Amino acid sequence: MKHLATPFLASLLFLALLTGCNRRSEEHEASPIDSLRLRLTNLYKPGMGEIMSNIQFHHAKLWFAGVNNNWPLAEYNESLIQSGFKKIQLFHGDKFEAKAASMIIPSMDSISNAIRHKDIRSFKTAFLFMTNTCNNCHVVTRHEFNVIIIPTIPPVSNQDFQTAKK
């Protein structure tokens, strides 16, 4: 029995040391990885104008999807607009413009509701509300020279905004 106990205890001791060494190694490696993650996160920071241009593009696509009763496409573009506003908060949350952008929330809720109910009349009203809110935000942030309108021409010529035929 004693002959089996010694190798068994030695094996346990070896495993304990190995586990302890691995744990310290992982902890030691986590610090440089976290540092690199932080550097990568801060490496590229899209400008406010760049994000707003993206939102404006999806604003136009949202309009054409909605007026053509293409509710899945409308919902998709609405989500991309929401994503744009989240990026503004993420990358520019400390700026006055980012804080003012929160005024868009009620109009985005109206758009979401109209899309969910597939209600073209409500959609048009909500879209006008959203567009006016954009312009009001531009006034508040001293960007009143940037006037947003309901689009009259699709933003791209290579996309069919009508609901796909089944």
**pLDDT given at position 18:** 52
Q: What does the pLDDT average to over 130-143? A: 97
What is the percent of the chain with per-residue pLDDT over 70, rounded to a whole number? 79
Tell me the C-alpha distance between 111 and 66, whole Å: 10
Q: How many Å separate Cα 89 from the centre of its chain?
A: 10
Average pLDDT of 43-49?
89
Q: What is the pLDDT of residues 11-40, one digit of tens each?
A: 555 555 555 555 444 444 567 888 887 777
CATH code: domain 48-140 is 1.20.120.290
pLDDT at 10: 55
Where exactly are the structural domains of the chain? 1-43, 48-140
pLDDT of residue 26: 46
**Stated pTM of the model:** 0.74
8 Å CB contact between 53 and 60: no
